[in-house]
A and B are shown apart, each in its own frame.
Chain A
Amino acid sequence: MNDKTIYLDYAASTPVDPRVWERMREVAERTCANPSSVHAAGRLTHEIIAQAAAQLGTLLNADPATLIWTSGATESDNLAIAGGARHRAHRGRHIVTMKTEHKAVTDVFERLGKEGFDVTWVEPGNHGVLDPAAFETALRDDTQLASIMLVNNETGVVQDIKALGGICRERDILFHVDAAQAAGKVHIDLAALPVDLMSVTAHKLYGPKGIGALYIADRPGCHVEPLLFGGGQQRRIRPGTLPMELIAGFGMTAAIAAARIDDDLAHIRDMRRILWDGIRGVDGILLNGDPGGFPGILNVSADGVEGESLLLALEPLLVATGSACNSKSQAPSYVLRALGRTDMQAQSAIRFSVGRPTTAAEVEFAAQHYVKAVARLRGLAPEVAA
């Protein structure tokens, strides 16, 4: 990023809070010891990690002992889904997820499908929200695991994980939730939610990249097989020397989020409202997702506009597009296609995501710039394509 750009891609990643950097530097200067070492320095590292677990546990209202450190949400999703399904394979091989999940989830299900698991892909309902009744219909006597994300990374759609988890709990089905976009941004109370496994990550929450966690509920039958082998760390579920600095940073990230979650939510609601008010008048504009979804994400399509050109025309805005949008592929977003958007509508989609540092001036400029860019590209297009 430089001074001329406007970053509106907070769903992709976020800047690290200076207090998090400071915490990481501070612990790195205090000790370099391996937390598995029994000497004093090792015990200090162990304590630093325990403090971070307590901070993350407070944010999620979970016992710190239920948290497993990972390299990020992708690893957490893999460990939860592949590890959970394999752990229960002797009981049944049917697993369930949604078509609109993140690739870190869908790719694991596809992999498990090749291993002989039977996968059911549930369709979202109106605006991308999963109807609990439709979800229940997909479950079978041999279903052992289901995975549904809390906040969709492309559209901001929020799923009713309380209802969905309740259905799973009644049937003793492992219920995994990808909360990469949600943790620290919306209130999560794992002590009250019927969730068995939850993936979270730091870098979506003003923390460092390379550190995440998997919550594994402390209840009978809730377990995952490890993906990695090589040591006794973290109850052998995820062995390997723990990256103390990253973990301490995640802990500070969680503590900051816990202290300001309501202020953050109020702020991004305001930013989204200004942005949407500024562009909603564009002819043929479509809001992709649920109007009542997570306010940090605003995904819109505009008829008659090509996505890659729109992305370039929107510079200096740094936003995400609804297609793979690189020179090798322009495949429209499978998430938006699952919401019923046409290829052209999905291809023209732009995801704006606002965050803590976003200012009203930035989103006002973004809205004006979007309106102008759409008008310019529509003016360039042959009438037959508009």
Chain B
Amino acid sequence: MSTDPYSTRTRELFAHPAHAGLLERGPVVYADAQDVRLQLSAEAAGGVLEAMRFQAWGCPHVIAAAEAACAELEGRPVADLLEFAVSGLMANLAVPVEKTGRILVLEEAVRSLGRRFRDEA
């Protein structure tokens, strides 16, 4: 049994976060809770998410999860943001259960981004 607290996938995403950054257009949300500071931005056209970026201050699981969420959501309907759940992502990254609270900050931030799109529509 591995004693490495990070899965291979978590290590990859942490080391190479392709979606790090801040988009110039579109809504931006910011969350600060549970030892996580997270900023999400997204651009959409025709009801589809064209680009999504994150900035994060947090543990490696938070950074990896934010990267995974951005990659997963790009190309999907904006409405999916409102339904976003982290359970599958936590399993894929093998996030320890005690870090659930931190990853839920990401879930709430994504949904908040969805509400911003909805409210601005």
Closest beta carbon of chain A to B7's beta carbon, Å:
12
Give bound CA distance, A306 to B56, whole Å: 10
Give bound CA distance, A53 to B30, whole Å: 62
Contact across chains for A309 and B63 when beta carbons are under 8 A apart: yes
Closest beta carbon of chain A to B33's beta carbon, Å:
12
| Residue B20 is within 8 A (CB to CB) of chain A in the complex | yes
Give bound CA distance, A330 to B61, whole Å: 13
Closest beta carbon of chain B to A324's beta carbon, Å:
12
Given A309-B14, A309-B58: A385 and B37 interface contact (C-beta under 8 Å): yes
Contacts between chains A and B (CB distance < 8 A), count: 54
Chain A 309-335, CB-CB to B under 8 Å as 1, else 0, gives 100110000000000001110100000
Quick one: closest A residue to B6, CB to CB?
Answer: A312
| Residue B99 is within 8 A (CB to CB) of chain A in the complex | yes
Give bound CA distance, A382 to B35, whole Å: 13
Given A309-B14, A312-B6: A385 and B57 interface contact (C-beta under 8 Å): yes
Identify which of residues 11-31 in chain B touch chain A, using a CB-to-CB cut-off of 8 Å: 11, 14, 17, 20, 30
Give bound CA distance, A354 to B96, whole Å: 32
| Residue A380 is within 8 A (CB to CB) of chain B in the complex | yes
Contact across chains for A381 and B98 when beta carbons are under 8 A apart: no
Closest beta carbon of chain B to A313's beta carbon, Å:
8
| Residue A178 is within 8 A (CB to CB) of chain B in the complex | no
Chain B 55-66, CB-CB to A under 8 Å as 1, else 0, gives 111111001000
Closest beta carbon of chain B to A320's beta carbon, Å:
15
Of B5, B6, B35, B57, the contact of A381 (CB 8 Å cutoff): B57
Chain A 248-287, CB-CB to B under 8 Å as 1, else 0, gives 0000000000000000000000000000000000000000
With a cutoff of 8 Å between Cβ atoms, the chain B residues found around residue A379 in the complex are 20
Give bound CA distance, A85 to B35, whole Å: 40
Contact across chains for B30 and A384 when beta carbons are under 8 A apart: yes
Given A308-B59, A308-B60, A385-B57: A380 and B39 interface contact (C-beta under 8 Å): no
B residues in contact (CB < 8 Å) with A: 5-6, 11, 14, 17, 20, 30, 32, 35, 37-39, 55-60, 63, 96, 98-99
A residues in contact (CB < 8 Å) with B: 304, 306, 308-309, 312-313, 326-328, 330, 377, 379-386
> Can you list 7 A-B pairs, Cβ within 8 angstroms, ordered by A?
A306-B57, A312-B11, A327-B5, A379-B20, A380-B56, A382-B56, A385-B57
